[in-house]
Structures are given as structure tokens and as C-alpha cells.
Amino acid sequence: MTPRLLLPLLIVATFVTTSCKKEKEVVEAKDSEIASAENLSTAGAATLMRLGGQRARWTATHSLENGDRMEVAILQDLPRRRIDFTLLRGDARAPIATLIAKSGHWYVTDGDISGVYRPYMAPLRNPALYLYLAKSELRFFTDEAVEGIGPLEGVKDGVATFRVPFTDEVRSALEERATIAEAADAGDVAEAARMAAEAGLQTHVNVATGVIVRAGLPGLQTVIDGPHFLEAPVSVEDRFETGDAEPGLLASSIAEEADSLVMLGHCLLWRPGQRPCDLDTHLLDLNRLALRRVPFAGGTSLPGTFLQNRTEVVVVGTDPSGGMRPFRVHLETGDQLPLGGPRLAEGITLFPRLSPDGERLIATWMPAMGAHEEAQVVQFDLKGNNATPVGAPMAHSHVQWLPSGEGVLLALREETQGAAEVEGTEVARKPVLATMALDGTVKRLRQGDQPVVLGDDAMLFFDVEAKRWMRSRLDGSGAQRFGNGHADLVHPTVSPDGKSLLFLRRNGDEMMEPVRVDAAGRKVTSVMPEHGLWAWPRW
């Protein structure tokens, strides 16, 4: 089966669930009573309480895009946990990684790599494992869930089914995909598309436990088996053995090395010639070239910004609703707080930056990935209050604060004069450096891209026409070449003391490696501790 043909429409469907039609169904009175919101919520609360005091195990099986499945088996004997990841391909089982959590540390075996880390700080070869882990945690029915999962369809074998039908538009699109699949002699994909159109978005809830045991799009679902409670005298001690492994450098506090830490998006598993893999935010210690992960517990994340104390960061993390929103994460405790309020609870937020006074953040928000014309600069605080828009929506990137804190520097993406207006084609664009006041007033400066504020009246930017890096005043005047121009460098970020920059250096057609550059642009030093895919450094 090649479900990749079905995936684009299923992704689209995740963004239209709020507009899905809710059809009135005739449900037997008995089912309505058994699966009432009150009964399911009560069952869920009882199960949650039991999990706090009794050993249990459960398994989550996630359907993957390519037809494989990822099995996540969790054994819990609080405060200890064992988590085993296994790839299922047909009848074959391939162990991927094991995490054993005990005594405040994670003992990790990932292929032929092993180590001891603080919770959620192990840089796994495949960052998507953290996403599967987040989706494997037990979720319980709540009163608030009723609106989002649609009306009750019925109860069978102790499982209540709730369903939100797709809109006619999505059904038509799925039928079109089925027709294309049949023409490509992919009948199984055609059948899956038609089944998806009929099934809609279904959520299954175990009536006895209140646990959501099946959720997600058809073909990309998560199915939960359990929890199964373990009665005495069943022993599980051997499942938590870690041999002679002891916590070391990678499990130590990061407070003393905070100034030498940078954040980067990274995927260790990737190699040239492969499709891009899921990135996750990692911490690189530039002094020791030690690599750890930002302890975001919600799945994968992308780099954002360090806070002034440098023991906290803001990252853009995956949200249960399917969007990407900013989270404040403490590097020592792992505590996290969603930011931006309801305004950023949906859609995609990218590249948050901290204000000079350390109290506010600025970022780019889009309703969906790739919706550049609707990109909106937003401002929000560190306490989780609602974000507010700055100016009008416009295609832009690389937004960051001016030193005064009274406006931002950014690169606009403007249509090239005379660009062909052909429906379905990408419009040619040129980057233009600009400033924007907090009242939305925009002042265009000059052509350029990837700007970085260097000080009170200096910035670095890439001259697209000359293909070299330039240093200038903040108004774009007095531009001079930075070093030798460094045409092979991208995505700069400046150190807290302003004496160094970190770039990514193109190494061949696909490879990127992090490099450190002195403030004058003369000395370039590689700081790549591991191979893989690197992106978006933040110092």
C-alpha cells in the first residue's frame, strides 16, 4: 500500500475539522446513558486515580505514512517507567529504542547509542519518537471533549464511538484522490480514500476506563491497548535494570554552561539524499561540543529564543490540536507553559524573539504552513496572555526586535515587478529589509535578506544581488562586506556578548554544519558534534 497518495488530503482534513458538518444521528437511549459525558468523565477520573497507585502497562500503535506502524509499549510503576519503541512492518518487529526512567534520570538505549540524561533531554536519533511518546500518553474523556469529537454514534463491545463527518468539499477531494489512485493502479489507496470519506473523524472511548483508545485520521490513527493493571505478586524488577550505567556530564545541571549553549534544530538520523526528517530542538554546548535536547514534553519542537536568565527558553512546539505554538520551557526543571493564549492556540507560530527588556516576545503567525500572504507579526508576553497583532498581514520572515524595543526589523517578501500572474504558479519574490513600528508603520530600507541586529546601530544581512554578507547601520546605510562575504553561510545568530556569531555552512548540495565566526568575519570554526540535519541556530 502507498498511503502517501492519501496523506495530503488527510492533512488538509485536520484543518477543516472545525467546519465539519455535525449530523444528527439516532442513538439508542441505552447507549446514550452508558456513554454519557458524566459516566465517561467519572470512569476516566477513577482510572487516573488508580494509575497513581498501581502498576500498569499499555501499548499505543501509531499508523505511519508509509504503511508501517510504530508501537510504543509503556510499563509504569511510579515513579519508574519503561518505554519501548518498536517498528512494525508487516509481521516483522524491529526494536528501535528503550527509555528507562528512574531516580530522576532517563537511561536511554537508542540503537548502538546509550547514555544517561535528565528527563526528556536525550537527543534521540529519530526525533519523531518524542512525538509518538506524547501521543502514547493516556488521554481521558472530559466534559470539554464533547464538542470537539462530535456526537455519539453508538456503543459496541464496551467502546463508545463519536464521529465528526467530513464536509462535502473534503469528501469530493478524497473521491478525486481515489480516482487518481485507480488511474495509477493503486487500488488499495483508492479504497482507503473512499473509506476515509465515509468514516470521517472517529474517536473511540473505552466506557469502563474513560480512556480514548482510538483517535486520528483514517490511515494515520493511534490505537491504545490498555491500561492493564498488574496485580501482586507479578514482578517487574528486571524490566527496570540499567546495568552499570551512571549519570555523567549529559545528566548534569546546565546552569554553569548557560552562556555557551546554543539551540539548533537537529535530526541525527538524516543523511544526504534522504527526505528531510522531523527536526527537534537540541542544546549544543560550544565549549564541550556536548549535545542535549530541550526538555519539551509535548513532542517535537523548533528553536525560538533564550530568556535573559538563559536557564529558560521559548520553543515552538507541537500542540495536541495539530498546530504549532510557543512554549516557555525551563531547562533545569522541565516545567513548560503555553504562550500566546487562544490567539496562538491554532495555526503555526514561528521564530519567537525576546524583547530588549526581556518581558515580551515577537513572532510570525500563519493560519497554516505555507500561508505566507497571511503571515502576521504578533506580540505576546511570558505569562501566557493572549497575543496581539502588530500591523497588517504580509509576507515576511526573520522578524526581530530593534534595540529600542519600539519596533521590529524584518525581511519583506515582495512580488517582483512584472511577475507573471498565472494561476497555480509560485509568484517570484524579492526580499526587502524593513522596519515596522508597533503601530504597524512600515519603512522599507533596501534589498537584503536574513537580517540580524548586532548592536545599538548595526545589523548583518545577506545581499541577495551581490551574494555576500554585509554589515551596515540599522537604516541600511554604510554597508560593508562582512569578512570575505561568506556566500556559503546562512541563518546567523549573535552571541550574548556580541563577540561571535553562529552560522550554518553549506557543505555540498544538501549538508549544513554549524560554524562559529568571530565578530569581524575573519575566522570560521566548525562546531558540529554529530552528523545529521541542522537548522535555525539560536544563541
How far apart are the C-alpha atoms of 449 and 397, rounded to whole Å? 9
How far apart are the C-alpha atoms of 529 and 284, rounded to whole Å? 8
Q: Let me know how many helices (H) and strands (E) the chain has, helices first.
A: 7, 35
User: Checking phi first, is residue 374 left (phi over 0); if not, alpha (psi -120 to 50) or beta?
Assistant: alpha
How far apart are the C-alpha atoms of 354 and 284, rounded to whole Å? 20
- Answer yes or no: are the C-beta atoms of 386 and 341 closer than 8 Å: yes
Domain ranges of the chain: 3-229, 253-538
Query: For the range 378-382, what are the long-range contacts, defined as Cβ-Cβ under 8 Å and sequence gap of 24 or more?
Result: 378/340, 378/343, 378/344, 378/349, 379/438, 380/326, 380/339, 380/340, 380/341, 380/343, 380/344, 381/339, 382/307, 382/314, 382/328, 382/339
Instruction: Give the distance, in angstroms, between the CA of residue 182 and the centroid of all CA atoms in the same chain.
Output: 34
* Residue 479: exposure state from Cβ atoms within 10 A (0-12, 13-18, ≥19): middle
Nearest Cα to Cα of residue 465 among 499, 432, 504: 432
Q: How far is CA 449 from CA 194, 371, 414, 419, 468, in A?
A: 45, 19, 12, 20, 10
H/E stretch holding 181 reads: helix 168-183
Cell numbers found for residue 531: 552528523
Instruction: Give the distance, in angstroms, between the CA of residue 75 and the centroid of all CA atoms in the same chain.
Output: 26
Q: How far is CA 72 from CA 98, 125, 225, 227, 321, in A?
A: 10, 16, 10, 13, 21
Q: How far is CA 494 from CA 443, 491, 518, in A?
A: 24, 10, 10
Helix axes 168-183, 7-14, angle to 10 degrees: 170
How far apart are the C-alpha atoms of 225 and 208, rounded to whole Å? 13
Is the Cα dihedral 17, 21, 26, 29 positive or negative? positive
Please write down the HEC assignment for all residues of 327-359: EEEECCCCCEEECEHHHHCCCEEEEEEECCCCC
Nearest Cα to Cα of residue 434 among 423, 448, 445, 450: 445
- Answer yes or no: are the C-beta atoms of 372 and 349 closer than 8 Å: no
Please write down the HEC assignment for all residues of 416-439: CCCCCCCCCCCCCEEEEEEEEECC
In the chain, the amino acid numbered 374 is: E
Instruction: Give the distance, in angstroms, between the CA of residue 83 and the centroid of all CA atoms in the same chain.
Output: 21
Measured in degrees and rounded to the nearest 5, phi and psi for residue 413 equal -110, 95
pLDDT reported for residue 198: 78
pLDDT (tens place) for every residue of the chain, 539 residues total: 333 333 333 333 333 343 444 444 455 668 788 889 899 999 999 999 999 999 999 999 999 877 899 999 999 999 999 999 999 998 999 999 999 999 999 999 998 889 999 999 999 999 999 999 999 999 999 866 666 688 888 999 999 999 888 777 777 877 777 787 677 665 566 777 777 777 778 899 999 999 999 988 766 789 999 999 998 777 888 999 998 888 887 888 888 888 899 999 999 888 888 887 889 999 999 998 899 999 999 889 999 999 999 999 999 998 656 679 999 999 999 999 999 999 999 899 999 999 999 999 999 999 988 888 899 999 999 999 999 999 999 999 999 999 999 999 999 998 655 444 444 444 457 899 999 999 999 999 999 999 999 988 999 999 999 999 999 999 999 999 999 999 999 999 999 999 999 999 988 766 789 999 999 999 999 998 888 899 999 99
Cell numbers found for residue 44: 476516566
Please tell me the CATH superfamily of domain 253-538, with its number: TolB, C-terminal domain (2.120.10.30)
